[in-house]
Chain A
Amino acid sequence: MRRSVGVWPAVIIGSSIVVGILTFADVESPVRSAVSLWFLIACPGMAVVRLIGVGETAVELTLAVALSLALDTLVAMVMLYAGMWSPEGSLAVLIGVSLVGAGLQILRTERAPSA
């Protein structure tokens, strides 16, 4: 029996695609605000934290939110201090982190020995 990949990789990939479309197409809508907030608060961190495998969902989510907000801050700050301030650029980096993390989660599940 194959191990279940879980819902999170799909959520992270889906959120990354939607926030990318809404932001880069400069869609003016409350949906954009809601999706962006969700993505920035949860997705980059969850992409990384689930790779650590800490178990309990509530704890995983707590760490993911903290790491997401820290990564958002650090990525944007590095770009700003480097003289390359670009919210879209920062978002692209964060989407990249999220997609790579979600991809690794899927790959790890694929390679895991069958139960």
Chain B
Amino acid sequence: MRVKAYPDAVRPIRLGRVAQLGTLGPVLLVPGALGLWLGSLRRVDLDRMTDVGLISTLPPPMFAALIVLTVGFVLALRERPLRTPLLLLYIATLIFMLYGVAMLVEEVPRFQGGWKHAGVIDYIVRAGNVNPQIDAYFNWPGFFILGALVTEVGGLASPMSLVGWAPVAFNLLYLGPLWMIFGAVTTDRRLIWLAVWFFYTTNWIGQDYFSPQALNYFFYLVIIGTLLRWFRSPKPIAFQFFGGRLAFPLEGRLPTTIYRWLAPSDSPATPTSLGQRVALLAVLAAIFAAVVSSHQLSPFATLVSVVALVVFNRCSPRWLPILMGLMIAFWLNVMATAYMAGHGEAVTGQVGNVGTAVGANVTARFEGSAGHVFVVYVRIGLTLALWGAAVLGALRRFWNGQRDLTFALLGAAPFPLAVAQPYGGEMLLRVYLFSLPFVAFFVAALFYTVGRVGRSRWTTIATGVATVVWVIGFLFIRYGNERMDRYTTDEVAATRHLYSIAEPGSVLIAGTPNTPWKDRDYERYRYRSLTNELTWDPATVANPVDATAAAMVNPDYPATYLIITESQIANDDLFVELPVPLRELLPALQQSSKFRVIYANDDATIFVLADETSSGGP
């Protein structure tokens, strides 16, 4: 095995006064950074937000706080021995700052998905059942049933109590399994901590909001962590069976030689008894049962990773993918039949349609306002930079004798999903997420290749600079759509008013679906949006008021209401959702004799047709 000499590892460290602060410095920098951060929050002016999102409103001291935190962390990482409580404090502070900032500066919980998920839970609390005819959520209701249980047992006034801080809570949850996963392949604790740090500075795709996928990602990490820790495969692949009496036909030929090289035996797993292994597998089965019942995509993402581990001899229970496949098949064919009967073609018909998948996942994202497109470029650029850094890190490890086949497989395993199914244009996000722990590890390995290196001043500076780049990127990417993801109390007041006046069964039309509603009365109304109601034909563009009025004619329902809010307008500004700008349609509707405003505040307006009999009429 080749091992390079690194003179920096034994060279006395000189970082001037900062280093002379000794052990106290990194400790003091945490409250320093946190104080600076919290003290700057009141200077955040959300009304100044541009199309690049929340970052346009953050005052300079908030960036300074993140730099101070980074400096403290990289200094703490130089200490020998490492202080685990201190590093934990840094990670927790980073999570609080990056993932809690929106909750601290905004009036109400952000992002429509969380509101909608609270509404599904509200239905279960009220009805005590799931109606699979309503939509897909009710065919994979595990997460929502759990939410209903927590709401009821905890005596919460509403499931919305769980929504706001969910990203912070989920990211704190991820810490444990990340530690398990990284600890399974290296004993270098500095490398582990840096990989964890990079994970949190680059988990920018925002799939940790109050959602089934956020919980299932935790389950995924735990399943992978458990397999890597206790179920590694220390035996070489066998091509002879029944005591050597039956040999694989290609035994001794080139394909099996290549396969043997690709699938070598692993280092021994943590020792366990047969009873412990059976119990751990039972725990995994219970966890995967929760995954299967909670989300359409997560079971498949978990399955492909486990299949990769088994095929390349990284995991000893070879039958595990079969069990997992049977569990998925049971759910699809028995429990989710209502959804599959109506959407089977949509689910399976696009499998392998690479053009559609690429179009939905990449091309469509480059549409919208200039600010939004800029954020998309930052997102793509930094993602490619991160993946490139990971490849270099993996090569550097390989050059130094570390053959991280397991992590390379797990990092690559989710990618086939991206071309298999577009998943509403979100599959690439999920691919990024499921490969992120392993990508973060290899990026960290670019700096800390083997246990004896990484304490030079240049490595410390490079680690800090890389962190600052990721953090700035994080603020651009994660909160790049914040103009639309942020809701105001006025918008919520408008939707509450709408619920108070609209008779159940009424049609509620929004400018775009991006509205703080559906957190209650999920099944009692017909929710629609102008993005579906208005077609992109010349007649609509020429006379959008008439087209909107026509969409409001629904005589089969008790009444029809139209609500237009500032976050919907921001949604249309960023993504160009409608054939005519919603910003221009709003005053046109206000001036039209065909519409009557029944409620208005600074951020929201509710309309009915002036001739109420045609809309069903209240």
- Specify the chain A residue showing the minimal Cβ separation from B283: A67
A85, B129: Cβ atoms closer than 8 Å: yes
Which A residues contact B (CB, under 8 angstroms)? 19, 22-23, 26-29, 32-33, 36-37, 40, 48-49, 51-55, 58-59, 61-63, 65-67, 69-74, 76-77, 80, 83, 85, 87-88, 90-91
A72, B279: Cβ atoms closer than 8 Å: no
B283, A65: Cβ atoms closer than 8 Å: no
Q: Please list 27 pairs of residues, one from A and one from B, whose beta carbons are closer than 8 Å in the complex, sorted by A's number.
A: A22-B155, A26-B155, A29-B155, A32-B155, A33-B154, A36-B153, A36-B154, A37-B150, A40-B150, A40-B153, A49-B283, A52-B280, A55-B270, A58-B176, A58-B179, A62-B179, A63-B222, A66-B219, A66-B283, A70-B290, A71-B286, A72-B150, A73-B143, A73-B146, A80-B128, A85-B129, A91-B153
Q: How far is the CA of A47 from the CA of B219 in the complex (A)?
A: 19
The secondary-structure label for the interface of chain B is helix
Interface bin, chain B: 35 or more
- Specify the chain A residue showing the minimal Cβ separation from B335: A81
The residues in B between 188 and 228 inclusive whose CB is less than 8 angstroms from any CB of A are 215, 218-219, 222, 225-226
Which B residues contact A (CB, under 8 angstroms)? 124, 128-130, 141-143, 145-146, 148-150, 152-156, 161, 173, 176-177, 179-180, 215, 218-219, 222, 225-226, 229-230, 270, 272, 276, 279-280, 283, 286-287, 289-290, 293-294
- Residues in chain A near residue B129, CB distance under 8 A: 80, 83, 85
B154, A32: Cβ atoms closer than 8 Å: yes
- Specify the chain A residue showing the minimal Cβ separation from B179: A58
- Residues in chain A near residue B143, CB distance under 8 A: 73
A62, B155: Cβ atoms closer than 8 Å: no
- Residues in chain A near residue B150, CB distance under 8 A: 36-37, 40, 72
Q: CB < 8 Å: which of A26, A54, A66 contacts B222?
A: A66
Of the candidates A32, A40, A58, A77, the one having the most CB atoms from chain B within 10 angstroms of its own CB is A77
A113 to chain B, nearest CB (A): 17
A73, B153: Cβ atoms closer than 8 Å: no
- Specify the chain B residue showing the minimal Cβ separation from A80: B145
A69, B215: Cβ atoms closer than 8 Å: yes
A73, B294: Cβ atoms closer than 8 Å: yes
B153, A23: Cβ atoms closer than 8 Å: yes
Known: A40-B153, A62-B179, A65-B176. A73 touches B283 (CB 8 A): no
Q: How far is the CA of A2 from the CA of B286 in the complex (A)?
A: 34
Q: How far is the CA of A31 from the CA of B176 in the complex (A)?
A: 26
- Residues in chain B near residue A33, CB distance under 8 A: 154-156, 161
Q: CB < 8 Å: which of B148, B155, B225, B226 contacts A36?
A: B155
B493 to chain A, nearest CB (A): 25
- Residues in chain A near residue B145, CB distance under 8 A: 73, 76-77, 80
Of the candidates B129, B142, B230, B283, the one having the most CB atoms from chain A within 10 angstroms of its own CB is B283
B473 to chain A, nearest CB (A): 29
A67, B286: Cβ atoms closer than 8 Å: yes
- Specify the chain B residue showing the minimal Cβ separation from A85: B128
- Residues in chain A near residue B128, CB distance under 8 A: 80, 85
